[in-house]
């Protein structure tokens, strides 16, 4: 059966738009910058002793996410598999043996159509996903700061012509970045705090101590502050908003089960992970930085679709 979004007319218009998009000079430069970001981030992480692992695309276990998305599944071999929404659990498993890892991880998140207009959401994007064993949140915040400073520093030094093309002047950001707790940010700026914090900031800024209900069960609760997580989001300055989310992970079986129940989820949904936790896992901490959002920020472009050769805008079937 032919659907509206697959009619000959729709496809021919889409192909025309794709060709126009790919021939846009701005898009070409942003794709070039994105390549440098991948290269410099990888160089940096290797220098720090991180091992790159390959992304996985399907698995019986993926991130449940704390916000609604349409969930595609693949039925095969008599079972169900998800398409990766994030490699959170695979990171937590792999890091037990490999100690320090990163992945250039494609994620599929079929975001609701209303996110089409944010300039920050695609339904197919790539995360630079990082995890380390027996490191604290503070250790990983320090690593993230170095990563951002190193990557931007090399682009400024080795490819000033690209920044010049975008009329983009980026300062030399200094460590440590400022921090504000989620509750303080909400108190200071009101409901729309992330956008306001970002608009006011002159340098990337940390949003820390996120309330439990805002995040998934795998992010670790403070042992001495119930209801608050050992989490951190990095917010870009100049209104570009969220760069990254991360945190320490729950690792004790009893705590994992308690958190799954608190979230109203079923043990059945996470039986692969629970089985692993029964074997015993150690604390790990990590974060993920969206490559497209990083590129958007570095180039100073308004729309995330302008940094992707084949942008997948929520609600729209595209090549």
183 touches 170 (CB < 8 A): no
The answer to whether 137 contacts ligand AMP (rule: CB under 6 A) is no
- Residue window 289-308: x/- pattern of binding to ligand AMP, with contact defined by CB under 6 A: xx-xx---------------
Q: Are strands 110-111 and 58-59 parallel, antiparallel or unpaired?
A: unpaired
Selection from 128, 133, 89 nearest residue 105 by Cα: 128
Q: Are strands 100-108 and 51-52 parallel, antiparallel or unpaired?
A: parallel
| Nearer CB in complex with Mg ion: 245/284 | 245
Q: In the complex, what is the shortest distance from the CB of residue 112 to ligand AMP, in angstroms, rounded to a whole number?
A: 10
Q: Which does 210 bind (CB under 5 to 8 A by kind): ligand AMP, Mg ion, none?
A: none
The answer to whether 111 contacts ligand AMP (rule: CB under 6 A) is yes
| Nearer CB in complex with ligand AMP: 50/123 | 123
- The sheet carrying 100-108 orders its strands as 51-52, 100-108, 124-133, 284-290, 241-248, 231-236, 205-208, 178-181
Q: Which does 244 bind (CB under 5 to 8 A by kind): ligand AMP, Mg ion, none?
A: ligand AMP
Q: What is the DSSP letter of 249?
A: B
Footprint on residues 256-295 left by ligand AMP (CB under 6 A): 288-290, 292-293
Judged by CB under 6 A, which of 198, 241, 245, 295 binds ligand AMP?
Answer: 245
132 touches 99 (CB < 8 A): yes
Pair of tokens at residue 77:
């071999």
The answer to whether 208 contacts ligand AMP (rule: CB under 6 A) is no
Selection from 154, 156, 296, 141 nearest residue 205 by Cα: 141
Residue nearest to Mg ion (CB): 245
Stated as kind and residue range, the H or E segment containing 302 is none
Selection from 157, 109, 163 nearest residue 295 by Cα: 163
Binding residues for Mg ion, rule: CB under 5 A, are 245
Determine the Cα–Cα distance for residues 121 and 113; give it in Å rounded to an integer: 10
| Nearer CB in complex with Mg ion: 153/239 | 239
The answer to whether 29 contacts ligand AMP (rule: CB under 6 A) is no
- Residue window 61-90: x/- pattern of binding to ligand AMP, with contact defined by CB under 6 A: -------------------------x----
Selection from 222, 218, 196, 220 nearest residue 207 by Cα: 196
| Nearer CB in complex with ligand AMP: 50/297 | 297
The residues binding ligand AMP (CB under 6 A) are: 86, 109, 111, 121-122, 125, 127, 242-245, 288-290, 292-293
């Amino acid at each position: 059966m032919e659907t509206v979004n697959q009619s000959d007319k729709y496809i021919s218009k889409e192909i025309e738009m794709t060709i126009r998009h790919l021939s846009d000079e701005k898009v070409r430069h942003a794709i070039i910058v994105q390549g440098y970001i991948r290269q410099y981030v990888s160089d940096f992480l290797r220098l720090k002793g991180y091992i790159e692992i390959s992304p996985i695309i399907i698995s019986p276990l993926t991130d449940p996410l704390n916000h609604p998305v349409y969930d595609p599944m693949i039925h095969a071999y008599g079972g169900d598999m998800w398409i990766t929404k994030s490699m959170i659990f695979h990171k937590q498993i792999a890091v037990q043996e490999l100690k320090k890892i990163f992945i250039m991880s494609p994620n599929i998140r079929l975001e609701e159509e209303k996110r089409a207009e944010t300039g920050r959401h695609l339904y197919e994007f790539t995360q630079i996903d990082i995890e380390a064993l027996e490191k604290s949140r503070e250790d990983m915040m320090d690593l993230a700061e170095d990563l951002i400073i190193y990557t931007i520093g090399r682009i400024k030094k080795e490819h000033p012509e690209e920044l010049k093309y975008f009329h983009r002047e980026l300062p030399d950001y200094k460590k440590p970045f400022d921090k504000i707790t989620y509750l303080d940010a909400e108190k200071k700026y009101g409901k729309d705090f992330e956008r306001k914090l970002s608009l006011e900031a002159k340098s990337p800024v940390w949003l820390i101590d996120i309330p439990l209900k805002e995040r998934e069960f795998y992010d670790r609760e403070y042992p001495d502050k119930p209801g608050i997580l050992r989490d951190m989001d990095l917010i870009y300055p100049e209104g570009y908003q969220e760069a990254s989310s991360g945190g320490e992970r729950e690792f004790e079986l009893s705590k994992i089960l308690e958190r799954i129940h608190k979230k109203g989820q079923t043990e059945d949904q996470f039986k692969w992970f629970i089985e692993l936790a029964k074997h015993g896992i150690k604390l790990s901490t990590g974060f993920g930085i969206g490559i497209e959002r990083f590129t958007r920020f570095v180039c100073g472009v308004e729309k995330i679709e302008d940094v992707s050769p084949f942008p997948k805008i929520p609600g729209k079937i595209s090549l």
